[in-house]
Amino acid sequence: MGSARKKQWQIAILSIIFLSAVGVAAAENWPHWRGPRNNGTSLETGLPIQWSSSENVLWRLPLPGAAGATPVVWEDRIFLTSAEGNDLVLLCINTNGKILWKRTLGTGNRNVHGGEGNAASPSPSTDGKHVWAFISTGDLACYDFDGNEVWKTNLEDRYGDFNLYFVMASTPLLDGDRLYLQLIHSNAWLVLALDKSTGREIWKHNRKSDAYAECEHSYASPSIYQDDKREFLLVHGADYITAHRLTDGSEIWRCGNLNPKNSYNTSLRLVASPVAVPGLVVVPSAKNGPVIGLRPGGKGDITGSKRWYHWQRADGTPDVPSPLIHEGLVYLCRENGDLICLDAETGKQVYKERTHRHRHRASPVCSGGNIYLTSRDGRVTVVKSGRNFEVLASNDIDETISASPVISNGKLYLRSYKALYAIGVAE
């Protein structure tokens, strides 16, 4: 790791420790679909845990169409992608609920899985000066905050048609001066690093796998592992999780057995993304399959290695929601509303409890010791973090939701198929 990156990481960790210790309510931006640390956690406190159509809803903005893309927020700007008929658009909205500008990213929307997804499934990212938006037609574009196009390209034209059963839903990862992407489908298994300023390819890695049938497809998103000794890119799909060097994309290690060969499921595509904190990578699979807690220092094929496994759980994986790690505990929100809490060090189950019995597609987020679980029917269940299970509140907006909640600058944002909601305490 470069000295500048190492210092930046150390400052971030010290800030988290300090703010947690003194109980400061820190206002944060939400620049990626899983937040400022790419893991669904926020340092903010004091957010409402209860709301209704008439309580703690600051505003509701109707949207031009449905989508599962999670919004991103930087100070007074909110960015989200959406379908608009056959078009796919990027919206810039201010934090008072007014649309500032709209740009067409591409055309050819496609609805899949009974309306559960469409071509506006990947989420945008921002660094406070520019916003990057990707849609499953392959269109990838960069705009400044005034809506001026900086560059635009089409990844299908560059790297071949996406061949998936559903749609390309992987969200590019913005880190430093790069965009990292995983394009894992039947026509290619590619890992890419692009220059965020130009869209130029920095490196391309052809990822190997022995997956076949629908297991060739991945709907997960890349993430980065980082501690004071190492950093690498995590890529999830086609029966494996792999770690890649940021310098050239070459593979450091891989772990399989997410789809055991002796009971191979030919429709086990990976959707939930891995999540990492220093010392631990939590790896989901699919369809009630295994969950693995890995140590980060492996090399080569570490499948089944006791040295590099913290723990392994035989079942209970989330099918779509990504795991959450908070204060030494791992939370797994299953698609049926079961919430499983594990000890992060040992993997031992702390509890398994039932929440709202409806399909969950959004990933959980945590703020102020509260975990927000969002189901497709518009209910958000708020659970107290910690070893004792406690439901604090259940809130309904009665609109379909598959996007994950967003926490930024004292507000909780919910993106339904019909509207964007700002939840907060009126001043």
User: What is the Rg, in whole angstroms, of the alpha carbon atoms belonging to the chain?
Assistant: 20
Q: Which residues contact 55 (CB under 8 A, 6 or more apart)?
A: none
Centroid of chain to Cα 274: 9
pLDDT per residue, tens digit, the chain (427 aa), is 554 445 445 444 444 444 444 344 578 999 999 999 999 999 999 999 999 877 899 999 999 999 999 999 999 999 999 999 999 999 999 999 999 999 999 999 988 876 678 999 999 999 999 999 999 999 999 999 999 999 999 999 999 999 999 999 999 999 999 999 999 999 999 999 999 999 999 999 999 999 999 999 999 999 999 999 999 999 999 999 999 999 999 999 999 999 999 999 999 999 999 999 999 999 999 999 999 999 999 999 999 999 999 999 999 999 999 999 999 999 999 999 999 999 999 999 999 999 999 999 999 999 999 999 999 999 999 999 999 999 999 999 999 999 999 999 999 999 999 999 999 987 6
C-alpha dihedral (182, 37, 74, 183), degrees to nearest 10: 0
pLDDT at residue 112 in the model: 83
pLDDT at residue 115 in the model: 63
Beta strands in 208-279, from DSSP E residues, in sequence order = 223-226, 231-237, 240-244, 251-255, 275-277
Determine contact, residues 251/302, Cβ cutoff 8 Å: no
pLDDT at residue 116 in the model: 75
Across the strands, what pairs with 349? 342
Beta strands in 64-120, from DSSP E residues, in sequence order = 72-74, 77-84, 87-94, 99-107
Rounded to whole angstroms, the Cα distance separating 323 from 257 reads 19
pLDDT at residue 1 in the model: 52
Determine contact, residues 72/131, Cβ cutoff 8 Å: yes
pLDDT at residue 21 in the model: 41
Beta strands in 196-301, from DSSP E residues, in sequence order = 201-206, 223-226, 231-237, 240-244, 251-255, 275-277, 280-283, 291-294, 300-301
pLDDT in tens, 201-254: 999 999 999 999 999 999 999 999 999 999 999 999 999 999 999 999 999 999
Beta strands in 295-369, from DSSP E residues, in sequence order = 300-301, 309-313, 324-326, 329-333, 338-343, 349-354, 365-367
pLDDT at residue 345 in the model: 97
Q: What is the DSSP-derived secondary structure letter of residue 321?
A: S
pTM for the model stands at 0.93
pLDDT at residue 15 in the model: 46
Rounded to whole angstroms, the Cα distance separating 412 from 223 reads 23
Q: Which amino acid is at 170?
A: S
Determine contact, residues 181/189, Cβ cutoff 8 Å: no
Q: What is the DSSP-derived secondary structure letter of residue 191?
A: E
20, two tokens: 């947690």
pLDDT in tens, 106-160: 999 988 876 678 999 999 999 999 999 999 999 999 999 999 999 999 999 999 9
